[in-house]
Amino acid sequence: MLRHAISPARFYSQVPNEIIRHPRLSSDAVRLLTWALSMADEALEALSDTAKRAGIGKSAFTRAKRELAAEGFLHEWRRQGDGGRWSTVQMISNVPLTATEADQARDGRPSDQSPATGEPKGRAVGRLPKKTVENNPNPPSPGVAGRPTPAQDERPEGGREGDQPSAAPAPASTATAPSTVPAPLVECGGQALAAVSHGEPRLRLSGQDVRVLAPLAGDWLQRGATVADIREALTQWLPDQVHSPAGLVRDRLTRKRPAAPTFAEQRAADHRAAEAQSRPRVADMRECGGDHDQPRLFLPVDGESLCPSCRCDEAGAGVAGAVEAALRGGAAIRGLLRARTAGAAA
């Protein structure tokens, strides 16, 4: 079995493999648990509402809830408030918990067991006993130790485009995009960069690179450029080998950034957009030139003079005529062949 998986750059959740491959949890139970775990901490939503959003029916939700409670992933408590009303408190976890452990987690008390629930059990495989420069295969960059790191936008003398070192991507402060780029445009810019990264192997960007460079792409969109313009600027005339995709993308987004529209151009664009929104749809319609009992309006696509119904009838009549002509021609040819065969036999 072949697998093609791309690590998401945003909006994802980490789910243990023990939940996905659990032998006693059904698909509905796994879906319900993973959906609930993917929600934010402040989202206080009942598990039944989560099941509705996940597309799980009532009977399937009852079975899934029973399975999760039996395996220790779901715990419930019934409480009576000051006004005499009863309420249900639900708690889900990504690890199985006993009733005692669930009570301690609910009340915020430390666990009695050692190590506590959720903490690592023993030293991980391959972990270094001491993080020193001698035994650490990935020491910190020189800039962390106090020495300034050379600017990422500077090219080495005699180097080519795309030869900048990519050990540490430039922080957002070095990106020349203004801080006034709206968040939706930044998100769209990140999506455009991710699409370019997936479509061009020489411009593979990590999730951190996309997040850092997204304001630059969003500034392009704010200046009136399109996603196609960004893709063309980044993928046109690429070198055969790109040593630093992030450095090349940052350089091109900064160097080829389109000029900001003037106030008059922006005002004219806003005026055209307002006119397009206020223009009635019937203003672009045309009256059909076909035979109708009453005038019929339609919206032409490429200067047509007939409505879609008349065009279909006209095309059907042409096909019927062609079929009739072909039948007449076939009958005439068969008649000639029969006459020739009869003359040869005589």
Q: Is residue 36 part of a domain?
A: yes
Q: Is residue 147 part of a domain?
A: no
User: pLDDT tens digit string along 208-232?
Assistant: 999 999 999 999 988 888 889 999 9
Q: How many domains does the chain have?
A: 3
Considering only CA atoms, give the Rg of the chain: 34
Which CA distances in Å does 343 have to 334, 336, 338? 14, 11, 9
- Asked whether residue 32 falls in the same domain as residue 94, the answer is yes
* Full domain range(s) for residue 239: 183-255
| Pair of tokens at residue 90 | 């639900």
Using an 8 Å Cβ cutoff, are 197 and 205 in contact? Answer: yes
- Asked whether residue 35 falls in the same domain as residue 88, the answer is yes
- Mean pLDDT, residues 96-118 taken together: 72
- Asked whether residue 29 falls in the same domain as residue 103, the answer is yes
- Asked whether residue 237 falls in the same domain as residue 304, the answer is no
Q: Is residue 137 part of a domain?
A: no
User: pLDDT tens digit string along 24-59?
Assistant: 999 999 999 998 888 877 677 888 988 998 899 999
Q: Is residue 89 part of a domain?
A: yes
pTM: 0.34
Which CA distances in Å does 129 have to 9, 118, 135, 297, 309? 32, 22, 9, 80, 79
Residues 6+ apart with CB under 8 A from 136: 128
Q: Is residue 215 part of a domain?
A: yes
Q: Is residue 237 part of a domain?
A: yes
Domain end residue (candidates: 107, 129, 156):
107
Specify the higher pLDDT residue, 153 or 12. 12
- Asked whether residue 29 falls in the same domain as residue 92, the answer is yes
User: pLDDT tens digit string along 252-306?
Assistant: 999 998 887 777 777 777 777 777 677 776 777 888 888 888 888 888 877 788 8
* pLDDT-based confidence at residue 314 (cuts at 50, 70, 90): confident
- Asked whether residue 23 falls in the same domain as residue 83, the answer is yes
- Which residue in 94, 137, 149 sits closest to 118, CA to CA? 94
Query: Which residue is listed with tokens 């939706």?
Result: 184
- Asked whether residue 246 falls in the same domain as residue 305, the answer is no
Q: Is residue 307 part of a domain?
A: yes
- The pLDDT, as a whole number, for residue 146 is 44
Q: Is residue 84 part of a domain?
A: yes
**Is residue 112's pLDDT more than 70?**
no
CATH number, residue 101: 1.10.10
| Pair of tokens at residue 163 | 């030869």
